[in-house]
Chains A and B, each alone.
Chain A
């Protein structure tokens, strides 16, 4: 069974930093690109970032460009999201999600980890 388990969320002050982790199991992690997608409380889905299977290429939403960094460690079957200069509007559940093998759609998704940015 494919599983994605996020961790690292919590309460952080504006301007602070947080590192999210996602551990993958049930599939060959190194052969899939990965995404982070977030959902603010009561709101819709917002794609945040993408990384290719080797980590050589990354993309970011404009809203996080320059503040967030996606990375992966294929030896540890792990995906990361380093979040710096956090703002109140970054408050959301952050989902780790696998890119489809063909590319484009997202499946499956982890259960999410909640990040709250507040003083």
Chain B
């Protein structure tokens, strides 16, 4: 099973600042990685797939990069609606599909 590790667990950022979230895989997942956003009381929403392709309707301030075992989600200028928990998920080698433990982006 591929283990996904996200860092940091919590990221405190001021509105308008840049946020950089990391996701590491225990073995290479090529570019078969997705990012999701989850707000309190809501279902997760797909942000990024294929490591860097934005899903339909996702603003350009969200960008993904990386390949192999190291991945990054960058939010270029945080808006109030971006404060949430973010999860990465690998789909290179499954079952099982595996998620990181999440990074909470909170207001500084």
Using CB atoms and an 8 Å cutoff, list the residues of chain A in contact with chain B.
35, 44-47, 50, 59-62, 95, 100, 103-112
Contacts and interface: CB of A to CB of B under 8 A. Distances in A.
Given A104-B34, A105-B34, A59 B46 contact: no
Contacts of A35: 97
Contacts of B38: 45
Given A47-B98, A111-B42, 17 more contacts: A35-B97, A44-B99, A45-B38, A45-B99, A50-B97, A59-B95, A60-B95, A62-B96, A104-B32, A104-B34, A104-B91, A105-B91, A106-B89, A106-B97, A108-B46, A109-B44, A110-B43
Contacts of B46: 105-108
Given A104-B91, A105-B89, A110-B43, A47 B97 contact: yes
Interface residues on B, range: 20 to 34
A95 B49 CA distance: 19
Interface of B: 32, 34, 36, 38, 42-46, 49, 55, 87, 89, 91-92, 94-102
